[in-house]
Amino acid sequence: MTSARRTAGTILRNEPMSKHTTWRVGGPADVYYSPRCRDDLLDFVRSLDADTPVYFVGLGSNLLVRDGGVRGAVIATGQALNGLRHLGGGVVEAEAGVPCTVVARQCSRWELGPAEFFAGIPGSVGGALRMNAGAFGGETWEKVIEVDVVDRRGDVRTRGRDGYQVGYRQVRGPLEEWFLAARFKFDEHYTAAADRIRTLVAERKASQPLGLPSCGSVFKNPPGDHAARLIEAAGLKGARIGGAEVSPKHANFIINTGGATAADIEALIGHVRDTVLARHGVRLDTEVQFLGEPLAGGGAS
């Protein structure tokens, strides 16, 4: 999979991805690499064989890793890509491994905004860029000026926002490139953020099953409606398959009640989608990203 070049950072082989996802499920990755810095990361990418699949992972939210694990190399961004800087003029540079909640709070300290919506995104900047994550009426790419990316050869380039097709919870751009950092433009002298963040965080705690293993919202909201409303109206709150359960607190969350497998969760996602389609005639699309393979002979849907 890799050449003989020595690479700094930590390389783990057959590493259970259940240790690195917020659902606490997932089979082993062939290689799990935690670089110490950006240069380590680039060296590692350059050392990989051209046919080795590569996946970047941040906080492991919004991600379902199947029980058979991941063939290829998983690169953890949190330690290496954790820089957050105010460049002046309302421009903020955030590297891919920075938690979105940190962006929200630091922008508040810098009196920049509106950035409060980042407090409602349970992942990192890299994941938010990949799917145009949003919360509380705001979306990531509304604020993007440009991004830094790395390709399969380990080459870094900067692309403007116009290099991507951005929609609701989806981003399309060049294949086999991964986000390293982004620069965002916010308004200056924005002083309303601190109180607003406290209010939004309190609302999340009251309405979402925080503290339980989940991925965040599972389904995208269909046009003109809310996935949670449709799921609840279909009588699916509390529905279970194995150790996976539709949260009784928020119907668009599926929680691991203890001992769930990725196959349990994927099967419950399929059951919810099928039931909502049968009851309401609406097909729900997932926000969650699927990664890896089911166990041999397993029953993933």
Nearest to 63 by CA among 288, 293, 300, 295: 288
DSSP annotation of 53: -
- In angstroms, the CA 258 to CA 86 distance is 41
Contact 149, 156 (CB under 8 A): yes
**According to DSSP H, which parts of the chain are helical?**
38-47, 100-109, 125-131, 193-207, 227-233, 262-280
Catalytic residue list: 169, 217, 287
Please work out, in degrees rounded to the nearest 5, the angle formed at the alpha carbon of residue 199 by the alpha carbons of 196 and 205: 140
The token pair at 182 is 């982004």
